[in-house]
Amino acid sequence: MNATLLTASAPTRARFSFEVFPARSGAAALALGHAVQHLSAAGPDFISVTYGANGSNRDASLDLLKYLRDHTDALPLAHLTTVTEDRETLLAAVHAVMDAGVHDFLALRGDPPRGVGEDDPRVSGSLSALELTELIAQARAERPAFTSVGRTAVAAYPNGHPLSRSRAEDIEWLIAKQEAGAQFAITQLFFAAEEYLSFVSEAQSAGLTIPVLPGLMPVSTSGQLRKVAQLAGRPAPVELERELEEAGGYAPELGVEHTVALAEELLAGGAPSIHLYTFNRHEQVLAVLRALRLLTPDPVGA
């Protein structure tokens, strides 16, 4: 039986979910299938599948969602981005995902394709994540009730969206997405628990009622750490950066240790769940869950 997504009324015991992305080669697809079996066996609330800018990997995303639906017990959740896509194309994409038997979405505006600026008309004219949330609700309303039972997640930005002018504006947008039908949010990456905890506290004071899942990524390499810092909009922790460099730029155990410590602080502060970005590998995220005592023995034998 598929897991159930967290809602505001769900039990407060700590849970977890994962993110994967479509493989880019045959060998990578084989490795991803292996990883997904381990991730599914852990019993996540859901496994989300990314979607490239301009629908660049739309078919591969849909194939992976179908694989999760048909070959695992995990609930698949489909990312959908709007950048450079028109409304009718997006509506068709939503229906295609639903036709594949997947009814849960993460509604995102997304980043422009490489080399395309924010001032490009194809980008500036794109629907917002709020409008995409409304579009998904419209698509569900167009279908029979028994096929439109899915849920919609949205993004939250503890350290601010790149185009936002203030935290207050980020919170206003998140509450507007809640009012448009979003049932929960997943955060962009961050390094310090207080960044998440203060953001959620302020958002709840302003009227947010949906759960906000902190997004965490146990890095393995210095390059991954730099990428996370770029996404987080904050400098990487100096000690972690130094330790990775001293280890030759590769030390998965350091990423696990940092993520465990961060997750412990978040859960103690009231986070309802943790969402783990996997890099299409299962070893590190499952090590995090074991250290947090959130994982029963892996039936696949990881």
Residue 147 and residue 150: Cα distance in Å, rounded? 8
Active site residue 19: yes
**Separation CA 88–CA 107 (nearest Å):** 16
In the numeric block, the tokens 């849920």 are attached to: 151
Alpha helix (H) residue ranges in 180-237: 193-205, 222-232
The DSSP element (H or E) to which 37 belongs, if any, is: helix 26-41
Q: Determine contact, residues 165/192, Cβ cutoff 8 Å.
A: no
Catalytically annotated residue among 19, 85, 134, 195: 19
CA atoms within 13 A on the CB side of 281: 12
- Of the CA atoms within 13 Å of residue 181, those in its CB half-sphere come to 21
> Hey, which residues are catalytic here?
19
